[in-house]
Structure 1
Amino acid sequence: MPVSNPGLSNDAFGACVRSVLEQSLPPDEYEVVFADDGSTDGTRRRLDAIAEQRDNVRVLHLDHSGSPARGRNVGLSVARGEYVYLLGQYDRLEPHALERMYDRAVETDADVLIGRIADQGPPPAAFARDRDRADVLRDHLLALPTAHKLFSRDFLETCQLRFADRPLSEQAFVTRAYLTAKVIAVLADEICCHLGPASPGTAEEETPDAEALFDGLNGIFDVVDAYTEPGSQRERIQAHWYRTLGLRRLAGARFLAAEPDERMILFSFLRRFTLDRFPAALDAHLPAHLRARTALLRLDRIDGLIALAEASRGTRLSADLRELRWDQGVLQLDLSVEILRAGGAPLWLRQRGDRLLWTPPPGAEGPLDGLLDDESADVTDAVRRARVEVCVRHVETGVIHSLPVTCSVGRAALGDQARVWVSGQARLDAGAAALGRPLPAGLWEVHVRMRGIRAGRTRVARPALPMSCAGALAGEPRRLVVPCWSERGELGVCVEPKSFPESIALVSSRATVARQEGHVFVVVPVPYVPPSGGPPAELVLREQDGRGRSMVVPALVEPGIPGRVAGQLVARVPVSRMGEDDCLGPGSWRPALRVDQKDVDLLFGLTVRRGGQVRLLPAGASPQAPSLLRRIVVRVLRERR
């Protein structure tokens, strides 16, 4: 583990150190080598103190270099183990990680063993299942460019594999390891390492300047040329790195916000690299919208690149929830996923017979007119392969698990244009969604990603139409699982809510109100009503302006049908235009649910207008502030009354 001024009070570094010292392997079966890069924050003394107490810990004191590459190389040179694992100073190993990875590596005779890693993104496709003999392209290993892997030390020494002192050295090191290893195995059924904040100089953190990017890409291409034969494999690997490290820099907010000189320098270096190392024949391995960027590079058209980036700004993925239902304890999500242009218009493709062609976004047609011929713009195969991936992310730990999804591509024609979308039916089995094990208790966000037509990631938005938020007892042992929506209207799933009122608060954004004869009925869904009928409940309403009054009214809980129809909590609240003390008066009010003298805030607000009209507000929304005249009139009327 290379270490460089992590900070003595940094919780992530402390958790990292504890995780490597508290492995399930006996201490005499593994060693920990800290390569300290001239830290000046007291880290050296802390590590030396640990080494004095533990025989399997060594600390290497190095002169400051500013890069983890030297620390890794020195650590690899002195390592004595049969296998070596490379870790960052803010990462964290699971307690059984080294034991499980080592056993799996020995079992498969692996030169490289990739243990499942967890970060803030969806799980890579490489972790779909365990693999004894993984293939670099078929199994999407290039999507795992960091050094968090178990390497055979004999393999490293035989190949003389070390980190180069140049930009993007981690990607180059991993690429060479992939291409020279006889056996690459994947351990996917258990999380081994949690990636923390990026350490300086690592693949996750590195965003090199234009010249460093040029040097780093050349270094990676040199590795690919040296360890592959001419052909499809070489071209696809080169296209991957060219796309992910180079072309992605030519779009987005950062590119558009850069100074003109900075933008021109980046354009010049990438154009030079494209002309030197990426011939037009390799464009076939790029999606159509990236072929357009490559063509503009070759034509020396920075104006076209800027126009394309501007016109593409705001393009996003949309995931609409069509149906939410329970099927024998499994939550079914019926989704429709589509790419939208800025402003919410759908992405339209051109039709040529039975073929589909990419079209420039509105605003870029002129600069891109005639840029791609029909063959280069053809996205028919990409549309046919399009699919969506659905995963759940634990709000507190950040752990992410994929859900099984069945996909189909929809298509609608209008003249010579076509609109396409992907329908996905995802299944959430709370008893097995965590790699075959039950999901831990807590709130899980639902995330959606599309592949094929154009990559993107989004959350599932709350549908405009009413939709059941009934909870159900699922898994073994039986636990309450509640579909819910956040304050921003994004779908989530809560496993084992902490209490009955908190289960109601989770779905309270779906509340409704109805006015009747001087009262308003506030109706809040109840995802699950226990057979006992639940404890007595009260609705608490607190005034957000004016005199800061509060009122408490009894609430009736009506049961529904578990897993099919939500119950409901109904409170009858008196309303007055004058704002009497025991009535809901003009102004804004925040509700809470009180059970056993404990209050839980609900995810909506109420605003009462001068005429006595009551309407719901989303949580966090601010009603329009009343005018000064209105506030004076209301106050005078209250005092007179």
Structure 2
Amino acid sequence: MGVKVSVVVSVCDPGPADDAFDACVRSLLEQSLPAEQYEVIFADDGSTDGTREQLDTVAGVRENVRVLHLDHSGGPTRGRNVALSVARGDYVYFMNQYDRLEHSALQNMYGMAMRSGADVLVGRLAGEGTPLSAFTGSRERADVLRDRLLGLPTAHKLFRMGFLAENQIRFPDRPLAEQAFVTHAYLAARAIAIHAGQICCQVATPQEDGQEDPAALVAGLRTILDIVEAYTPPGQRRDRIQAHWFRVLGLRRLGGARFEAAGDHHRTVLFARLRELVQERVPARLDAYLPVHLRARAALLRADRQEELARLAAASRGTRLRAELQEVRWDQSVLTMDLAVEIVDAGGAPLRFHAENGRLYWMPPTPIEGLLAPEMADVTEAARRARMEVYIRDAQTGVVYFLPVTSTVQHGRDGDGVRVWAAGQARLDVGSAALGRPLRPGLWEVHVRMRGVHPARTRVARAEAPMNCAGVLADYPRRLVMPCWSGKGELSVCVEPQSFPESIALVSPRASVTHSDDDVYVVVPVPYVPPSGGPAVELVLRQMGGRGRGMTVPALVEPGVPGRLAGQLIAKVPVRRLGGEGCLGPGAWRPGLRTEGKDVDLRFTLEVGFRGHVRVRPAGTRPTPSLFRRIAARIPGYAALS
């Protein structure tokens, strides 16, 4: 039996002791596919850190491993092309040096590729970056536009070797080579399949390159437009694909922090090069497929109005999506989250639109004369189609799953304009959220995305209003599931906390205090109290700074109503203005829970003032300086002494 899959890994100076690179190598050597049925080709781009010797050692004991020793070229393109010329597999898969294949990835992908007869198979990816809408389900016949495959531009895919040879598909020797290769393969393929059932590859976050050469960037974009024209007839499909690459690789570079940080010369050259491209290759009809704020950039680019484009970019800085959590509740074992999302500016003010004759028109954040024709500024249909999408992301692996959402678009008058927002419900069934399978244990982040007028995504930040953090025992086997806030104060869902104290720690930012004479009662929510009442718990308090004193007090746990009302942990703590043994004194105190001799830190701080008043501060916030420090800070030279 011949080689089924060749895996090509681009390598350049990862460091001989680099843990991430070692994990990559191990993942390749420990595949479930028998060793004689796959090969690994390391394309080493002139490493000088001992990597070549390390890889030669691996190849010396593993017959299915080969190393290509190449002169340094500064990128993966040449190595990938050389590897393609020597690869022996029926299919080839490309990786980078810090990526990691899952144990059964090659076996699963190859099996589906053979069943579907795919020229290209897109295996499920996990990692940082934009959520991957393509992986809402497996498909044996995927479509580039319908399934949003253009949002997956990297070469982490299974390509049939015969198909690449027949169509002479190689990585061009210029910037955007990977995007050009993948676009060529997408459009030339007779069959593209999506394997979404299991994670295939953990993709490492790419490092930011230095400042791009505008001429080289535009040359790479021209190559991609050439490929699109060669493989798609004139019409809407061609226009939509070209508009996508014009937006992602061109217009996005004319705004944002990177554009503003670049020097005047770089911005001028980039603007000029992109304008040449627009005049020659990008007809104005493509602008209809752009979000309205990028239509404005395109209009300014076509009109040669660079200074106004810079003003628009500066005025748009900080525009973002804001998501508000209105309610969390359980419907048996399904968690329902009521959310509202809206685009706001840097100051938090909602974006407003001009209303006239029943139509909505975009209002630029800075006045620009004759910027857009009325039909291009019209966002009525985009607002009508706007929708909220909610997905969960495994904080450990980066895998993403979209949740069922029902949402509506709402309008409201705001001064001389109209606000547009989406409101709706997302439902999380822990037993089936992973494409019909239960979610794995761990912390799952909740992310929100809005499509329509101004596409954007965000996390749900902790609101002032209390959240129902009651948990339930869901699915089979029975395990605790609970909404909570991450360490950064963002909405998450924890599946099967590691322990009873850990479940309390996750929701502890909602702690409160009540004063009574010379004591204070510390109250912390408890998501779920088992019928046994749980283990005995003590509240441990350690003074931050100063003498580092500590004290321990017993805590009482009161049960709530599973899924409806959280229980609570209550600890009575004595407080004295001057402090002393066995009581809280002025300063900041870090709390923890102790059960069976083990401590778990809670996510808040108790701050005690000189008058004995105690307040709760979320973890990570600076404590208020004491009265002494506030007075001393006014003394000349105090800062230097402290």
Separation in 1 of the partners of 2:127 and 2:545? 43
Matched residues in 2 for 1:48 and 1:189: separation? Answer: 35
- Whole-angstrom distance in 1 between the partners of 2:531 and 2:74: 63
1:307-354 deviation per Cα after TM superposition (whole angstroms, max 9, x unaligned): 111111111111110110111211111111111112111111111222
SS of residue in 2 equivalent to 1:576: coil
Shift of residue 72 of structure 1? 1.1
State how 1:529-540 maps to structure 2 within 5 Å: 529-540=529-540
Q: Distance in 2 between matches of 1:45 and 1:342?
A: 52
- Alignment CA distance shift 1:165-1:630 (3 Å): closer
Give the Cα separation in 2 of the matches to 1:59 and 1:273: 40
1:435-460 CA distance string (max 9 Å, x none): 32222222222121222221222111
Equivalent residue, structure 1, for 2:219: 215
1:122 positional shift: 4.6
Matched, 1:343 2:347: yes
Whether the aligned pair in 1 keeps the contact of 2:128 and 2:204 (CA below 8 Å) is no
* CA 630–270 in structure 1, closer or farther in 2 if over 3 Å, else same: closer
The residue number in structure 2 matching 1:385 is 385
Q: 1:243 & 1:530 partners in 2: Cα distance?
A: 53
SS at match of 1:434: coil
Of 49, 53, 66 in structure 1, the residue corresponding to residue 61 of structure 2 is: 53
User: Match of 1:299?
Assistant: 303
Structure 1 residues 19-60: Cα deviation after superposition (integer angstroms, max 9, x where no partner) = 122111112212222222222222222222222222222222
Shift of 1:629: 7.7
1:566 corresponds to 2:566: yes
Q: Aligned pair in 2 of structure 1 residues 627, 513: CA closer, same or farther (>3 Å)?
A: closer
CA drift at 1:546: 4.3
Contact 2:128-2:205 at 8 Å conserved across structures: no
Moved more, 342-351 or 621-630: 621-630
For residues 541 and 22 of structure 1, the distance between their equivalents in structure 2, rounded to whole angstroms, comes to: 47
SS class of match (1:530): coil
User: Post-superposition shift, 1:533?
Assistant: 0.7
* Of 224, 229, 254, the match for 2:228: 224
Using the alignment, how far apart are the partners of 2:76 and 2:165 within structure 1? 19
Question: 1:290 maps to which residue?
Answer: 294
Checking the alignment, whether the CA contact within 8 Å between 1:392 and 1:401 is kept in structure 2 is: yes
Indicate how the Cα distance of structure 1 residues 500 and 137 shifts in structure 2: closer, same or farther if over 3 A, else same.
same
Aligned runs of 1:515-554 on 2, under 5 Å?
Answer: 515-554=515-554
1:506-526 deviations in Å (ceiling 9; x for gaps) = 111101111122221111101
Give the deviation of 1:128 after TM superposition.
1.4
Query: How many aligned positions are there?
Result: 624
The answer on whether the counterparts of 1:62 and 1:71 sit within 8 Å (CA) in structure 2 is yes
1:396-454: per-residue Cα shift (whole Å, max 9, x none)? 33333322222221221346521111123112222222232222222222121222221
Match of 1:165 in 2: 173
Q: Distance in 2 between matches of 1:589 and 1:38?
A: 54
Residue number in structure 2 paired with 1:144: 152
User: What is the CA–CA distance in structure 1 between the aligned matches of 2:212 and 2:265, rounded to whole Å?
Assistant: 16
CA distance in 1, matches of 2:174, 2:330: 54
Q: Following TM superposition, by how much is the alpha carbon of 1:241 offset from its aligned partner in structure 2, in angstroms?
A: 0.5
Q: Note the 1:557-636 alignment, pairs <5 A.
A: 557-628=557-628
State the one-letter code of the partner of 1:402.
F
Q: What residue identity is the alignment partner of 2:196?
A: A
| C-alpha separation in 2, matches of 1:27 and 1:597 | 48
2: CA distance between counterparts of 1:578 and 1:35?
Answer: 68
- Partner SS for 2:170: coil
Displacement of 1:13: 1.6
Please tell me the residue identity of whatever aligns with 1:29. Answer: Q
Taking a change above 3 Å as real, the CA distance of residues 117 and 629 of structure 1, as seen in their structure-2 partners, is closer
Cα contact 2:43–2:79 (8 A) shared by 1: yes
Q: Distance in 1 between matches of 2:30 and 2:575?
A: 61
Give the structure 2 partner of residue 636 of structure 1: none
Matched residue of 2:294: which SS? helix
Pairwise CA distance, 1:197: 3.7
Cα distance, 1:131 vs. partner?
1.4
Q: Which residue of 2 aligns with 1:449?
A: 449
1:45-80, CA deviations, whole angstroms, 9 ceiling, x for partnerless residues?
A: 222222222222222222222221111111111122
User: Within the alignment, does 1:32 sit opposite 2:36 as a pair?
Assistant: no
Alignment check: 8 A CA contact 1:105 1:185 kept: yes
SS, match of residue 52 in structure 1 = helix
Runs (5+) with no aligned partner, structure 2: 1-8, 633-642
Q: Is the 8 A contact 1:118 1:191 kept in 2?
A: yes
**1:637 is matched with which residue?**
none
Q: Which residue of 1 aligns with 2:269?
A: 265
Code of the aligned partner of 1:89? Q
Q: Cα RMSD over matched residues?
A: 1.9
Alignment partner of 2:460: what SS? strand
Q: Summarize the Cα distance change of 1:122–1:165 in structure 2 as closer, same or farther, 3 Å threshold.
A: closer
8 Å CA contact 2:409, 2:420 repeated in 1: yes
The answer for the alignment partner of 2:94 in structure 1 is: 86
* Paired amino acid for 2:157: K
| The 10-residue stretch of structure 1 (176-185 or 545-554) with the greater mean CA deviation from structure 2 | 545-554
The within-5 A match list for 1:308-457 is 308-361=312-365, 364-365=366-367, 368-414=368-414, 417-457=417-457
Q: 1:627 to 1:518 in 2, by over 3 A?
A: closer
The alpha carbon displacement at 1:357 in A equals 0.9
Q: Is the 8 A contact 2:132 2:400 kept in 1?
A: no
Q: Please say if residues 121 and 400 of structure 1, whose CA atoms lie closer than 8 Å, have aligned partners that are also in contact.
A: no
Higher alpha-carbon deviation: 541-550 or 401-410:
541-550
SS at 1:534 equivalent: coil
CA 1:130–1:396 in structure 2 vs 1: closer, same or farther (change >3 Å)? Answer: closer
1:12 and 1:196 in contact (8 A); partners too: no
Distance in structure 2 (CA, Å) of the matches to 1:239 and 1:594: 58
One-letter identity of the residue aligned with 1:213:
L
- 2:488 maps to 1:488: yes
> Are 1:458 and 2:458 an aligned pair?
yes
| Alignment partner of 1:189 is 2:193 | no
Segment drifting more, 205-214 vs 254-263:
205-214
How far apart are the structure 1 equivalents of 2:443 and 2:428? Answer: 14
Question: What code does the residue aligned with 2:442 have?
Answer: G
Q: Tell me, yes or no, if the aligned pair for 1:401 and 1:435 is still in contact at 8 Å.
A: yes
Which has the larger displacement, 386-395 or 160-169? 386-395
2:74 to 45, 49, 66: 66
Q: Distance in 2 between matches of 1:338 and 1:114?
A: 33
Larger displacement relative to structure 2 (267-276 or 319-328) = 267-276
Q: Which amino acid aligns with 1:370?
A: G
Gaps of 5+ in 1: 633-641
Provide the C-alpha distance between the structure 1 equivalents of 2:125 and 2:210, rounded to a whole number of angstroms: 19
The answer to whether the aligner puts 1:275 opposite 2:283 as a matched pair is no
Q: Secondary structure at the match of 1:461?
A: coil
Q: Per-residue displacement from partner, 1:549-573 (whole Å, max 9, x unpaired)?
A: 2222211110101111100011112
1:504 positional shift? 0.8
1:169, CA displacement in angstroms?
1.1
> How far did 1:144 drift?
0.8
Secondary structure, aligned partner of 2:371: coil
In 2, are the aligned partners of 1:585 and 1:608 still within 8 Å (CA)?
A: yes
CA distance in 1, matches of 2:161, 2:630: 78
Partner of 2:184: 176
Aligned residue in 2 for 1:248 = 252
Does residue 233 of structure 1 match 2:237? Answer: yes
Q: Which amino acid aligns with 1:250?
A: L
8 Å contact 1:352–1:416 — kept in the other structure?
no
| Structure 2 partner of 1:638 | none
**Residues in 2 aligned to 1:205 and 1:437: alpha-carbon distance in whole angstroms:** 38
Task: Measure, in 1, the Cα distance between the counterparts of 2:112 and 2:398.
Answer: 26
2:136–2:401 contact (8 Å) kept in structure 1: no
**Cα distance change, pair 240–520 in 1 and its aligned pair in 2 (3 A):** same
Distance 1:534 1:129 in 2: 40
Aligned-partner Cα distance in 2 for 1:623–1:50: 53
